Structure 1
């Protein structure tokens, strides 16, 4: 025993009090004792690194994931798949305990003179058991009932813990390893506040940017002993959940020994098709009624959306009590394979492995409150990462395999992910794969020519309507640096026989480029009323085929300056700006119909011409609006525009207020990766002053048979315009549940689901304005109501919509893009 530990155990007062010796003499004696202890005692703080291979003593086969612990401590490591291990013994002498189910445990004493290489051979435990006779309930159910009851008694004793954590992530394609990332972290768990991991150091292959943390995400570290196991936003029912017997069938499939203790191997089969559950095998230590090992995967009824064609993942985990009264995870090994593709587009298989090891547990200690000031499960200690040689390889709990060790040496910067996972198929040219960190090296090596640089910045601009005819143009954008970009655009309208053009720039400022200044100039055709759902290109289809042209138009010569800032911590964007516009009317110029029919388009209304100068402000919480309902959103937006003749020398005096809110609510089957959800979208607006025609607002209708979310599906080929407006759109996505309930699993597996939807809203136009209008507006003086249902996920990306008008007769069928997430 070391000097300081001995002195700590000795009580000088207890020794010297009976002798009644003076304090000065006592000090002299203590100094001599300390000197003698230094001379004759070997210090315990010497450390050794012991490594080797764990093998079967009879066959010589390596034993993967063998458990090596330092006796009397909460420290240990796990052998790799090849049976290799490496453990840092901080104090000697020490005793290593090596365990593997089905084998007799082995103890090895480590001293300062022990060899650093120690191969360990384990003998199989003799198996002498009577045949198992099952009458009535399978004994596996009884055993798991005991495991669940025992867990309730010991789990409540753990209020919190901390542990040293090692995480390794490996990504492969069909050819081999593409990337490896390793992280050393400190993990903290609190019964009430949850789990946090602080990343202290990391290393990775050279094709990863130093700023990337591929090994971690927002998901918590998986513990298969938890009641609810969170995986990819799905809340799986754990095999030791209090209600696990309602969700699982447990059956004994084998028995083994670990030393002289009986271990039951129990199969795990799901009873439910609708809730996220596991299938696989667990091992239970009979004497303690505890789960000591689990090998599980999601059940076959877990359905992922297109374009995910296949997602297989396996979880393997071991547990130990370290000689204490409670059982904690010592590792987590995850293997997965993802196949992504659709008709005309296929990506190489993505194979991934994630290995996590836990060491040096501290139970029921005081945790820093600062950990829980953020909701993120993983926190980066940027100060520690900046230190030189910040990755301590002696802390690796699970050694690298030979393939991984070789990949670390061979992979270099420039081995890009865009090449490793390059898609194939007819649509592959439409997919642009980017890996800026590695592709920049490849580009430099190839000395990319000027012609290719120009092509990268070019984008087409095309639309068709009754005013422009065909508008054909291009836009060229160029990033001069990470902070400054600019663009120019130009186009020609065949019916107006005019060229239109524009230019703009943006400068990002701030440490993380959160602020920006921007400027824009444009002269060309502009829509008379805004649409959140349809661009000029999207709205071109009906007009090109002779149906009612959706928008009205005017000519606009506009200069605009703006500035803004992104408050990323609270997900808030703020923008202010000033603009000056010279607005003039345009007339209809063509009735062209690509099918050659004699349809006549309506006239293009005149606007209130003049110079409009205005200031505007917008505040956005969350992301920008994504049209067509591809994904659910949680966002809100407010826009204000003010024009004044007195203060801004404008020809108009008005203020508009517009707002929108998009929100998603989980409803049923909230455990699933894709639970049932209710999506809501509300829009509304009003004004003060005298509003010009070119500042009226609108509620979108469908583009003939194109009926996306956020529009009135029964309002075909037109919209409602007005000075004021309000509307609410809703969809409840039952996903594949209806087909699963009636046993049509083959349809559910294709991702086909059911959506129920509806909408209500109207606009208002004053009677005075209605009397003076020279055209017939899209308008109704009552609320529009509709309801319907949709078949979602056809071919992965499409849906069929049906809608019934409620405030008057009308039933319509249309289609749009699927709600994927």
Structure 2
């Protein structure tokens, strides 16, 4: 019943490598890359364990008071070997309060009064009850092994495991229908380690509530951590830990089918491994065997109490289909959990124990092995009780209690120093780890690339210098084309205040022998700086006659320099604009909205071709198309619902973008009169294997543009093609180095990502684990130019008076970052083979 993990937002100082006074803020790209990879590593360590996104705030709630001041301690051992027994279930007789032993068998927890009788239960051992008094509050408890039958059993008929699990699932459905709510107290400890030992420890004392239809609310009563962590870096808690009685359990972003799912027999085979006893009650040990090769499932063992048909313990690991592509080299987690009866038919978790190892890296750059350990003891359950309205009066899943509330509850690490006793190594870690031993320092990467990154780090300066460097950035601009020849410029940006940004532009083109200059001011309204802004811009620069948006000038320049046809046509522009920006705080259908509208005035002038230079020589570029010179004045507007599409299609998503450009030759006094409309709809649809972290997806892009009025050639629309052998999503791959242009246009591009599923189906799991996947894709579209306009253009446009159709297949994830594409033209003969950037998400 403990809610599974769903997402992460690791915006914590512990991964910034900063001291308590803050980081340098000017590290440089190489060190930033190194730190970013460490964040990635830690994300995959924590992603199946705890959701750090929960908002912590000061508040109050009506919670159950505790009056515990008396404690019992001791050691639970195997009576025959003397070895300490881990995770022994301890319960105070006549109550639902209890605890578990640590990995060495020690226990330490409060009791309501003396004398107190404690019952010790552990599968494979006789149940033992002992009475503790003020004089005997510290005792050694030796449990006698019971009759154990771990040998393989042979059945002449059907293995009874399926019948046993069928009864478990039926019983669960019956009692879960009666469960309305519960509350419990918990102690949780998380520990990060590397090859040399413990890196950090965080602990929490919490109270958790669950209510049908409302979910979970957890209240932080007290917490402590090693001195290299701050309070808001404490990840310990229970609200997002897995409960293996749930139908589905989220592990590292995978929706894993639980062993008690109503359709569990579609995905699992069950086999009886043996019988054991807990006291005088028989326990079935059942092997869980994945039946599916594609869906995320568990494997391991579960233990079922025979008389009750109830889960007593699970010991499971994610199945082999739960894996991540490089740079994740290893991702291993083990889950252990016990259950107990809490009145009536209800069986709820006693504990959660998770151990994990993650390795992240690639040739020349590898992080140390990251080990994660979590243990949580959940006790003091109260089931189907009256729930105070204040508990669910907030939508926040985690609330830090106010000091008066904490005092009233009388629970703290001062009263409960070791709800599950620390090991000697953990005690030593608390004594020796200081605030300078950061997480980043503990997981320094190795390899020659790591050494290069370390050498490239920028030294920190005085605070005033750091603040200045954070507020100023310099972006060089370099490009080459047949109109400007070589162009070099600088685009500095100054963040004066959180609401005021100033940018400048200065550059020179050797072919046109002209300077480019300009600047902009972005002002965000105080108190509304994330919602309302105003941008004033002036520049004199070179622009592309048609730019569908797939490539920028710099990227296209590289293609031209190696001897391919120049992708764009160019003209000279002197432009002034004033634009209002609105970003409402509320999302629409869960998507962000951004709207811009503004006035522009632009003086436009044709440019001639000045060069056909390339590195390989012998290339003659086509003439630069002349535009219709004149003054263009009007209004521009753009609205986007959803996130902006990722460059080159590395990630998919859903968004709708609408644009309008109106130029007026009447009351605004310009030389052109037209209205141009454009729209782009991106859709991402999850198709198959939707339980996985990376599901199979279908991406669709519908793009269209049209106009009214007299459209000049510099306002034509276009559809992208590939640059030489590089062909990202969103353009025609069987067409090279030319924009398909027109007065009107429409196209549909699609791409289905099967990810690694085809390789898994044929048993090539090694290829799947290298991150390789298959995609199929295609596109259909055309542009329109009227016959009358074609006769008066004065140049030959790249235009087909028909629809283009193409389809292809790709091998995705070559070296994690690239893909190989093969495409066929369907409306006429044509074939293309090339590369592009991998579809990562």
* TM-score using structure 1 length: 0.83
More moved, 480-489 vs 607-616:
480-489
| Alpha-carbon distance change, 366 to 679 in structure 1, aligned in 2, over 3 angstroms | farther
In the alignment, is residue 156 of structure 1 matched against residue 177 of structure 2?
Answer: yes
Kindly indicate whether structure 1 or structure 2 has the higher relative contact order, using CA contacts under 8 Å at least 6 residues apart: 2
| Alpha-carbon distance change, 612 to 415 in structure 1, aligned in 2, over 3 angstroms | farther
CA distance in 2, matches of 1:153, 1:623: 44
Find the counterpart in structure 2 of residue 463 from structure 1: 479
The within-5 A match list for 1:689-700 is: 689-700=709-720
Aligned residue pairs: how many? 765
* Structure 1 unmatched runs, 5+: 1-43
CA distance in 2, matches of 1:599, 1:207: 62
Matched-pair contact (CA < 8 Å) for 1:46–1:91: no
In the alignment, is residue 529 of structure 1 matched against residue 531 of structure 2?
Answer: no
Find the counterpart in structure 1 of residue 767 from structure 2: 747
In the alignment, is residue 538 of structure 1 matched against residue 555 of structure 2?
Answer: yes
Q: 1:493 aligns with which of 509, 534, 544?
A: 509
The Cα of 1:633 is off from its aligned counterpart by 0.9
Find the counterpart in structure 1 of residue 127 from structure 2: 105
Matched-pair contact (CA < 8 Å) for 1:308–1:340: yes
| Alpha-carbon distance change, 473 to 756 in structure 1, aligned in 2, over 3 angstroms | same
The Cα of 1:224 is off from its aligned counterpart by 1.3
CA distance in 2, matches of 1:512, 1:68: 55
CA distance in 1, matches of 2:509, 2:451: 29
The within-5 A match list for 1:612-691 is: 612-645=632-665, 648=668, 650-691=670-711
- Give per-residue Cα distances to partners, 1:403-429, cap 9 Å, x unaligned: 445555655556544444444445558
The Cα of 1:636 is off from its aligned counterpart by 2.1
Matched-pair contact (CA < 8 Å) for 1:422–1:433: no
Find the counterpart in structure 2 of residue 63 from structure 1: 85
Secondary structure of 2:647's counterpart equals coil
The Cα of 1:365 is off from its aligned counterpart by 4.8
CA distance in 1, matches of 2:475, 2:442: 27
| Alpha-carbon distance change, 228 to 547 in structure 1, aligned in 2, over 3 angstroms | same
Matched-pair contact (CA < 8 Å) for 1:105–1:258: yes
Matched-pair contact (CA < 8 Å) for 2:254–2:322: no
| Alpha-carbon distance change, 603 to 232 in structure 1, aligned in 2, over 3 angstroms | same
In the alignment, is residue 379 of structure 1 matched against residue 397 of structure 2?
Answer: yes
CA distance in 2, matches of 1:349, 1:129: 38
CA distance in 2, matches of 1:580, 1:85: 77
| Alpha-carbon distance change, 423 to 546 in structure 1, aligned in 2, over 3 angstroms | same
The Cα of 1:388 is off from its aligned counterpart by 8.8
The Cα of 1:63 is off from its aligned counterpart by 2.7
- Give per-residue Cα distances to partners, 1:89-140, cap 9 Å, x unaligned: 45776544333223333445567x577x634523123326697640344444
Secondary structure of 2:178's counterpart equals coil
More moved, 613-622 vs 647-656:
647-656
CA distance in 2, matches of 1:353, 1:694: 62
- Give per-residue Cα distances to partners, 1:508-531, cap 9 Å, x unaligned: 556685235344443322222233
The within-5 A match list for 1:417-566 is: 417-425=439-447, 427-428=449-450, 443=460, 453=469, 457-508=473-524, 513-517=529-533, 518-566=535-583
In the alignment, is residue 78 of structure 1 matched against residue 96 of structure 2?
Answer: no
Matched-pair contact (CA < 8 Å) for 2:479–2:488: yes
- Give per-residue Cα distances to partners, 1:649-681, cap 9 Å, x unaligned: 544433333222222212122222322221112
More moved, 457-466 vs 52-61:
52-61
- Give per-residue Cα distances to partners, 1:414-473, cap 9 Å, x unaligned: 654444444444555897999xxxx99x947x7696899499834432222212223233
CA distance in 1, matches of 2:455, 2:578: 33
The Cα of 1:255 is off from its aligned counterpart by 3.6
The RMSD of aligned alpha carbons is 3.8
Secondary structure of 2:649's counterpart equals coil
CA distance in 2, matches of 1:373, 1:645: 59
CA distance in 2, matches of 1:669, 1:130: 36
Q: 1:590 aligns with which of 604, 611, 625?
A: 611
In the alignment, is residue 50 of structure 1 matched against residue 71 of structure 2?
Answer: yes
CA distance in 2, matches of 1:622, 1:668: 23
The Cα of 1:296 is off from its aligned counterpart by 0.9
The within-5 A match list for 1:263-342 is: 263-342=283-362
Secondary structure of 1:463's counterpart equals strand
| Alpha-carbon distance change, 451 to 287 in structure 1, aligned in 2, over 3 angstroms | closer
More moved, 778-787 vs 204-213:
204-213
CA distance in 2, matches of 1:102, 1:739: 42
* TM-score using structure 2 length: 0.81
| Alpha-carbon distance change, 214 to 784 in structure 1, aligned in 2, over 3 angstroms | farther
More moved, 584-593 vs 129-138:
129-138
More moved, 286-295 vs 146-155:
146-155
* Structure 2 unmatched runs, 5+: 1-64
Find the counterpart in structure 2 of residue 758 from structure 1: 778
CA distance in 2, matches of 1:114, 1:508: 70
In the alignment, is residue 608 of structure 1 matched against residue 628 of structure 2?
Answer: yes
In the alignment, is residue 241 of structure 1 matched against residue 261 of structure 2?
Answer: yes
- Give per-residue Cα distances to partners, 1:42-99, cap 9 Å, x unaligned: xx98532425343206455333222233334443333333444443445776544333
Matched-pair contact (CA < 8 Å) for 1:173–1:348: yes
CA distance in 1, matches of 2:135, 2:499: 59
Secondary structure of 1:620's counterpart equals strand
The Cα of 1:639 is off from its aligned counterpart by 2.6
Secondary structure of 1:628's counterpart equals helix
Matched-pair contact (CA < 8 Å) for 2:72–2:111: no
| Alpha-carbon distance change, 420 to 625 in structure 1, aligned in 2, over 3 angstroms | farther
| Alpha-carbon distance change, 348 to 148 in structure 1, aligned in 2, over 3 angstroms | same
CA distance in 2, matches of 1:366, 1:221: 24
CA distance in 2, matches of 1:482, 1:250: 60
CA distance in 2, matches of 1:91, 1:643: 85
Find the counterpart in structure 2 of residue 721 from structure 1: 741
Find the counterpart in structure 2 of residue 256 from structure 1: 276
The Cα of 1:158 is off from its aligned counterpart by 2.2
Secondary structure of 1:747's counterpart equals helix
Matched-pair contact (CA < 8 Å) for 2:148–2:277: no
CA distance in 2, matches of 1:276, 1:260: 36
Q: 2:732 aligns with which of 690, 712, 734?
A: 712
Matched-pair contact (CA < 8 Å) for 2:85–2:104: yes
| Alpha-carbon distance change, 511 to 230 in structure 1, aligned in 2, over 3 angstroms | farther
Matched-pair contact (CA < 8 Å) for 2:68–2:110: yes
The Cα of 1:796 is off from its aligned counterpart by 1.7
CA distance in 2, matches of 1:565, 1:70: 60
Matched-pair contact (CA < 8 Å) for 1:163–1:187: yes
CA distance in 1, matches of 2:673, 2:189: 63
Matched-pair contact (CA < 8 Å) for 1:263–1:286: yes
More moved, 752-761 vs 631-640:
631-640
Secondary structure of 1:581's counterpart equals strand
- Give per-residue Cα distances to partners, 1:214-264, cap 9 Å, x unaligned: 5589x9531112222222332222222233344333334444332222223
